[in-house]
């Protein structure tokens, strides 16, 4: 088969083809090596394209979603050799990861899993099926500077994986909300349940088709509206309790501090816990929304990716600052106990026995955040090729590096 691939290249006589089974370092505008372009041979190209397009029995798309042809246009404009390689129907794989580039240079790159082992091959992250085994050697040509648009889209593709990890963490924090009395917030929770159901259905539909339809975009916009409304409401409620807590923790100690802590915990802790759990649920829904929008933009509006990533960065910073609700309650309880110890024996045991009983009998049931660990899915990459109708195709698959 290697001889057959070599004969194809010789017969084609196309001097513009890039050397098969090679890689070219991809540079930023500042000259930093941050990724690579992998050049596949004809044999692997045929296997991969068959993997991406012929799956009549598959329940999910054999890739991580389609990417706009804008990506290929920008990549082709960055170097004449790259554009010529695409026109000559070579299959290129672009990855924006210094770690993967290091793996390429060391010969330890694997783009597919085979029998649980990394074999230096390529696979779709949806099916995990083998598409061919190979090693990539450095191409004897100049390094290529990737335009800003390329890096923005590669960052967005990587951002989807990052959001999935954040979602797992928020899911762990959200556990237990069904055990709370949420009658006062039933409307908000109902909106979130409905919106998340829509997002999950859209994700499932995208996984099956690998593309976004216009009606999916409308549903996504409506779900986002409800989620943003719930998120803003819950942030206000949680912030109000947090501000009250800080005033008490920074105020007087002794009996006054113990009384104020006890009163806040007795009167508002249950409602606050509901509000905080709903805030976590809304944050998780917001993460899901961002993930779906990024997938949408990568296919239909790649020029908006940079703005989406900028807004997403702010959102993630806010989410990271969302502490476990039990931490706030525990700080109040600890402060109440400390204030109680500051009181003299008579004040604590005679004149304020009820206060002492309330504080010492209160236990905050710590919930374990059984945080799941995501199986390392590798680093997303974008595969580009021309189909039989000379149409540019781009999809996402994963790259892994042997440890």
Task: Give the model's confidence band at 117: pLDDT under 50 very low, under 70 low, under 90 confident, else very high.
Answer: very low
The answer, yes or no, to whether residue 221 has pLDDT greater than 90, is yes
In angstroms, rounded to a whole number, what is the distance separating the alpha carbons of residues 170 and 172?
Answer: 5
pLDDT of residue 109: 57
pLDDT digits (tens, 9 = 90+) for 280-319: 888 878 888 988 898 899 999 998 888 888 887 787 777 7
Tokens coding 111? 């783009």
In angstroms, rounded to a whole number, what is the distance separating the alpha carbons of residues 244 and 257?
Answer: 12
In angstroms, rounded to a whole number, what is the distance separating the alpha carbons of residues 390 and 11?
Answer: 21
Say which residues have a Cβ less than 8 Å from residue 159's Cβ, sequence separation at least 6: 294, 309, 312
In angstroms, rounded to a whole number, what is the distance separating the alpha carbons of residues 159 and 338?
Answer: 44
Transcribe 169-221 into DSSP letters. HHHHHHTTGGGS--GGGHHHHHHHHHHHHHHHHHHHHHHHHSS--HHHHHHHH
Say which residue, 401 or 67, is predicted with more confidence: 67
pLDDT digits (tens, 9 = 90+) for 330-356: 889 889 999 999 999 888 888 888 888
Say which residues have a Cβ less than 8 Å from residue 47's Cβ, sequence separation at least 6: 131, 132
Tokens coding 103? 């793996």
Calculate mean pLDDT across residues 188-210.
85
- The answer to whether the beta carbons of residues 383 and 91 sit under 8 Å apart is yes
pLDDT of residue 152: 83
> Distance of CA 148 to CAs 255, 267, 294, 318, 355, Å?
61, 54, 17, 26, 63
Hey, which residues does 220 pair with through a beta bridge?
none
pLDDT digits (tens, 9 = 90+) for 78-100: 888 888 888 888 989 888 888 77
Calculate mean pLDDT across residues 53-71.
72
> Which of 123, 137, 134 is CA-nearest to residue 52?
123
Q: For tokens 């109902």, name the residue.
A: 190
Furthest CA-CA distance within the chain: 100
The answer, yes or no, to whether residue 223 has pLDDT greater than 90, is yes
Task: Give the model's confidence band at 174: pLDDT under 50 very low, under 70 low, under 90 confident, else very high.
Answer: low
Angle at which helix 69-78 crosses helix 148-174, to 10 degrees, equals: 140
In angstroms, rounded to a whole number, what is the distance separating the alpha carbons of residues 145 and 138?
Answer: 16
Task: Give the model's confidence band at 397: pLDDT under 50 very low, under 70 low, under 90 confident, else very high.
Answer: confident
The answer, yes or no, to whether residue 161 has pLDDT greater than 70, is no
Count CB-CB contacts under 10 A for residue 364: 16
User: What pTM was estimated for this model as a whole?
Assistant: 0.63
Percent of the chain with pLDDT strictly greater than 70 = 73
């Amino acid at each position: 088969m290697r001889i057959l691939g070599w004969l194809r290249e010789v017969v084609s006589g196309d001097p513009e083809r890039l050397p098969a089974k090679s890689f070219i370092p991809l540079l930023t505008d500042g000259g930093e090596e941050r990724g690579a372009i992998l050049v596949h041979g004809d044999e692997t190209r045929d296997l991969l394209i068959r993997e991406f397009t012929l799956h009549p029995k598959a329940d999910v798309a054999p890739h991580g979603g389609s990417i706009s042809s804008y990506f290929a246009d920008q990549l082709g404009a960055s170097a004449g050799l790259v554009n010529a390689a695409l026109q000559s129907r070579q299959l290129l794989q672009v990855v924006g990861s210094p770690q993967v580039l290091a793996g390429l240079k060391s010969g330890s790159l694997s783009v597919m899993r085979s029998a649980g082992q990394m074999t230096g091959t390529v696979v779709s992250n949806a099916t995990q099926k083998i598409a061919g085994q190979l090693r990539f050697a450095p191409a004897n040509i100049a390094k290529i500077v990737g335009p800003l648009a390329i890096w923005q889209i590669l960052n967005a593709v990587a951002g989807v994986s990052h959001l999935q990890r954040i979602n797992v963490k928020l899911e762990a924090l959200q556990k237990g909300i069904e055990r709370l009395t949420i009658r006062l917030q039933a409307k908000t929770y109902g909106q979130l349940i409905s919106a998340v159901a829509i997002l999950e259905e859209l994700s499932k539909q995208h996984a099956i088709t690998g593309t976004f339809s216009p009606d999916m975009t409308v549903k996504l916009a409506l779900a986002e509206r409800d989620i943003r409304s719930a998120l803003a409401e819950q942030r206000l409620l949680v912030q109000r309790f947090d501000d009250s807590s800080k005033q008490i923790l920074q105020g007087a100690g002794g009996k006054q501090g113990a009384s104020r802590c006890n009163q806040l915990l007795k009167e508002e802790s249950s409602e606050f816990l509901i509000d905080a759990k709903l805030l976590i649920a809304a944050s998780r829904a917001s993460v899901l929304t961002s993930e779906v929008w990024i997938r949408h933009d990568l296919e239909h509006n790649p020029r908006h990716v940079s703005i989406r990533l900028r807004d997403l960065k702010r959102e993630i910073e806010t989410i990271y600052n969302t502490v476990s609700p039990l931490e706030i309650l525990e700080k109040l309880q600890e402060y109440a106990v400390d204030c109680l110890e500051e009181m003299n024996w008579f004040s604590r045991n005679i004149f304020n026995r009820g206060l002492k009983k309330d504080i010492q009998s209160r236990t905050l049931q710590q919930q374990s955040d059984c945080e799941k660990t995501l199986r390392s899915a590798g680093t997303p990459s974008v595969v580009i090729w021309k189909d039989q109708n000379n149409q540019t195709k781009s999809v996402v698959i994963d790259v892994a590096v042997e440890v």
